């Protein structure tokens, strides 16, 4: 390994309520296809777009992520956003990360739909210069507009952007929560340790 090369680290943020196989497969795809050294999962503390009573307690979500990634040496979890203990934005989180780890090149892992809305994000202009982006594009996605926007960002902000085909796993956290409430199986939708944690702690079985 070239010791002068900055480590490339992916950031996968979200509520992870609960974390599922789709999240893990996206992280692994980014790790492999973008030649990352590591992927950090960052559960959100107080998501600005959700009320506190709409998400499961942060400590539970953190533990589920910890259980899910335990067998992968290239995955880690950060409590940085949870420990802020207040509503924050992606910009605030990345300021903390880039200041704490100046020797790392960070890449924010996100879906194509979110990337196309990045101009609505808080202080997006600065985000484009702070970190790179790994954009997961669904096969069949109309990419002309995204290609145009990507070209503009690379020209105006020298943004590092990697476009990848997203793994085709139609799993959502809301579907898992609904299946639990209706007494349907969630087996194979998430890691077995996460499934056990959910049932042992009676998560999602009540409105």
pLDDT tens sequence across 32-72: 999 999 999 999 986 655 655 689 999 999 999 999 999 99
pTM score > 0.85 for this model? yes
Asked whether residue 31 carries a pLDDT value surpassing 90, the answer given is yes
Asked whether residue 89 carries a pLDDT value surpassing 90, the answer given is no
The domain locations on the chain are: 7-170
Q: Which CATH superfamily groups domain 7-170? A: HUPs (3.40.50.620)
Q: How confident is the model at residue 203 (pLDDT cuts 50, 70, 90)?
A: very high
- pLDDT value of residue 1: 43
| Mean pLDDT along residues 96-120 | 94
| Mean pLDDT along residues 81-94 | 80
- pLDDT value of residue 5: 77
Torsional sign, CA 69, 113, 84, 174: negative
Q: Which two tokens stand for residue 135?
A: 């954009």
CA–CA dist 78, 190 (Å, integer): 20
């Amino acid at each position: 390994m070239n010791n002068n090369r900055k480590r490339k680290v992916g950031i996968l943020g979200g509520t992870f309520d609960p974390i599922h196989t789709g999240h893990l497969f996206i992280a692994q795809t980014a790790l492999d296809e973008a030649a990352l050294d590591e992927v950090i999962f960052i559960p959100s503390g107080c998501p600005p777009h959700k009320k506190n009573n709409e998400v499961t307690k942060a400590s539970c979500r953190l533990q589920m992520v910890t259980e899910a990634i335990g067998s992968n040496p290239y995955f880690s979890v950060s409590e940085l956003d949870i420990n802020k203990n207040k509503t924050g934005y992606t910009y605030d989180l990345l300021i903390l990360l880039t200041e704490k780890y100046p020797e790392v090149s960070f890449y924010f892992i996100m879906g194509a739909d979110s990337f196309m809305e990045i101009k609505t994000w808080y202080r997006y202009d600065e985000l484009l210069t702070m970190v790179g982006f790994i954009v997961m594009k669904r096969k069949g996605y109309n990419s002309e507009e995204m290609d145009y926007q990507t070209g503009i960002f690379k020209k105006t902000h020298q943004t590092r952007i990697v476009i990848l085909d997203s793994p085709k796993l139609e799993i959502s956290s809301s579907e898992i929560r609904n299946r639990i409430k209706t007494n349907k199986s969630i087996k194979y939708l998430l890691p077995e340790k996460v499934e056990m944690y959910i049932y042992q702690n009676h998560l999602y079985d009540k409105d």
